[in-house]
Structure 1
Amino acid sequence: MEAPARLALWLCGGISGMNAAARELDALADAGFVAVSFDSWRRGTRAAETMAELFPRGMANFPHVVWPMLGNAALEALRILDWAETELGAKPPFFGGGHSLGGDIMIAAAGLDPRIGCVATINSTPDWRRPGMRADGKLVGPGTPDAYAQWFYDRLDPITHLAAYAHKPAMAFECGADDDHVPADGAQRFKALLAPVYGTAQNRLRVICHAGIGHEYTPEMWQNCMAWFREPH
């Protein structure tokens, strides 16, 4: 009897969509995964504006602009996993990961869906407030969410919903030690706060800070993600 397909869902950063993930999807497929991506709300072919237009708006009021993008995408990821089970024969545990905003989305999705058993991210954070975030060298203010954005935060922000990770997904964070846009501190705090939740399974949480690296996507980070996916967890 043929083994069920192992599914890996990878999301790119910013408003990049599934077409930008071709390199990662090819590598995952070569490693034996059924590799998929999708264009989440306001990203890829569903983007309502260019990155040049979105970025200054997002930095001017991060919660108002970005939290709905994170929340909608995390919820949509569940629909993609449902589809993969039905149409592709994929079975849990599912693997997920992403770069920057894409990784933020997958971290949140892992707290929503216990079918996600393994996550690997690059330059991502579980803290939607991103304290200490800078853009073009300037500190980004906390911003003010509207009711819609706050709804997502109150239900899906990973670092304030630790119990959502009681199923102990294996999560690896590849961070730039000098990243001032998505500071590594978020992943480090998340790992420490989850220690009581994970108990004796601390080896299922890993944060690697790459010295001398800012908000950059390096080959070593990607190789570490692939190695994490291959490991038995």
Structure 2
Amino acid sequence: MERPGAPLKETDLARTGTTVGDVPVLVIGARSAERRGLVILLPPLGGTKDQFEPELRRLAAAGLIGVAIDPRRHGERADRPAGALFDEVMAHFRQVMWPLLGGTVLDAMAVIDWVAARFEVPGPVLAGGVSMGGDAALALAGIDPRVSRVAAIAATADWTRPGMTRIGRPQETIDQGAATPSGQWLRDQLEPISHPDRYRRHLEIRCDVGGTDSHVPPEAMGRFARLLADGSPRPSIQVIEHPGLDHAEICSSPQILDESLDWLVAGSDSGSD
């Protein structure tokens, strides 16, 4: 997608908060017909759609429809405080995280259906996310052929996260426990590294990973990139490692988020073909 011309003014933008089914959705887009495509942003564990409002406004000013959702059990549909949910996930990772992650992927696909029809979006569908949201954006591209470009930060293609440790405690490996049958089914159906053939199409992926991130180990994205290189057609995939950054640092970096969104909107001049 070409870089848009002059950005739209704030007065040209419209903000819509609604629900699609039971999914809380925030949409910010141009009031006019100058719509170039749709971008969906997916938050990390403990995050909400509203944290991305500045980014949605920036994307909308570039002529895109910006969309964010509350992941399952987050934001407007939270069943406990974010800190308590985080502790629950860390104590029973596969039992709790895989349904959260897989359900959010399916929710995102349904929201794209609604937004594309409601706002008559003619252009491409782009997806971005941070940590769990980046995992979901990657998985979304595997099941929704409308998605042509993905920008993920601190994300993984391997939901088992081999060697995962606690955030800020790299010496403490997490006992991930066992998955529920429904969670296992979601992982079997949606995990990117289990379905590389789904990504062998016209698709561009960028993933920024932390060089010292042992919570979401970066090796899985390198492994995924090598899998995608073995076959045809081959998508374009960049795995950009940031030396010295751990999980918390890469997830909270405004510069990396800005660069990721710039790439998402403007396209990439490099990467593997």
Scaled by the length of structure 1, the TM-score of the pair is 0.92
Q: Does 1:212 align with 2:248?
A: no
Rounded Cα–Cα distance in structure 2 between residues aligned with 1:27 and 1:168: 26
TM-superposed CA distance for 1:47, in Å, is 1.5
Rounded Cα–Cα distance in structure 1 between residues aligned with 2:231 and 2:256: 26
Aligned counterpart, 1:188: 222
Rounded Cα–Cα distance in structure 2 between residues aligned with 1:38 and 1:213: 27
Rounded Cα–Cα distance in structure 1 between residues aligned with 2:133 and 2:232: 24
TM-superposed CA distance for 1:232, in Å, is 6.2
Matched ranges for 1:125-136 at <5 A: 125-135=156-166, 136=168
Say whether the 8 Å CA contact 1:6–1:94 is kept in structure 2.
yes
- Decide whether aligned partners of structure 1 residues 146 and 103 sit closer, same or farther in structure 2, where only a CA change above 3 A counts: same
- Decide whether aligned partners of structure 1 residues 197 and 61 sit closer, same or farther in structure 2, where only a CA change above 3 A counts: farther
Aligned counterpart, 2:21: none
| Larger strand share, 1 or 2 | 2
The structure with the largest alpha-carbon Rg is: 2
Q: Tell me how large the CA RMSD over aligned residues is.
A: 1.8
Any idea what the Cα deviations from partners look like across 1:160-196, whole Å, max 9, x if unmatched? 1111212242110011111111111121111111112
Matched ranges for 1:1-233 at <5 A: 5-135=36-166, 136-137=168-169, 138-197=172-231, 199=233, 201=234, 204-215=236-247, 216=249, 217-229=252-264, 230-231=266-267
Q: Give the letter for the 2:267 counterpart.
A: E
Say whether the 8 Å CA contact 1:165–1:197 is kept in structure 2.
no
Q: Percent identity?
A: 34
Q: Give the letter for the 2:38 counterpart.
A: L
Q: Give the letter for the 1:213 counterpart.
A: L
Structure 1 unaligned spans of 5+: none
Any idea what the Cα deviations from partners look like across 1:123-182, whole Å, max 9, x if unmatched? 111111111111141101231001111110110111111112122421100111111111
Say whether the 8 Å CA contact 2:141–2:148 is kept in structure 1.
yes
- Decide whether aligned partners of structure 1 residues 151 and 232 sit closer, same or farther in structure 2, where only a CA change above 3 A counts: same
Runs of 4+ in 1 over 3 A off after TM superposition: 2-5
Say whether the 8 Å CA contact 2:74–2:82 is kept in structure 1.
no
- Decide whether aligned partners of structure 1 residues 232 and 88 sit closer, same or farther in structure 2, where only a CA change above 3 A counts: farther
Scaled by the length of structure 2, the TM-score of the pair is 0.79
Q: Give the letter for the 1:131 counterpart.
A: P
Q: Give the letter for the 1:214 counterpart.
A: D
Q: Give the letter for the 1:163 counterpart.
A: D
Alignment coverage as a number of residue pairs: 230
Any idea what the Cα deviations from partners look like across 1:174-233, whole Å, max 9, x if unmatched? 11111111111121111111112454x45x100001111111231331232123221268
Say whether the 8 Å CA contact 2:128–2:134 is kept in structure 1.
yes
Any idea what the Cα deviations from partners look like across 1:94-130, whole Å, max 9, x if unmatched? 0000111111111111101000000001111111111
Q: Give the letter for the 1:27 counterpart.
A: R
Q: Give the letter for the 1:231 counterpart.
A: G
Rounded Cα–Cα distance in structure 2 between residues aligned with 1:5 and 1:143: 44
Q: Give the letter for the 1:171 counterpart.
A: I
- Decide whether aligned partners of structure 1 residues 10 and 198 sit closer, same or farther in structure 2, where only a CA change above 3 A counts: farther
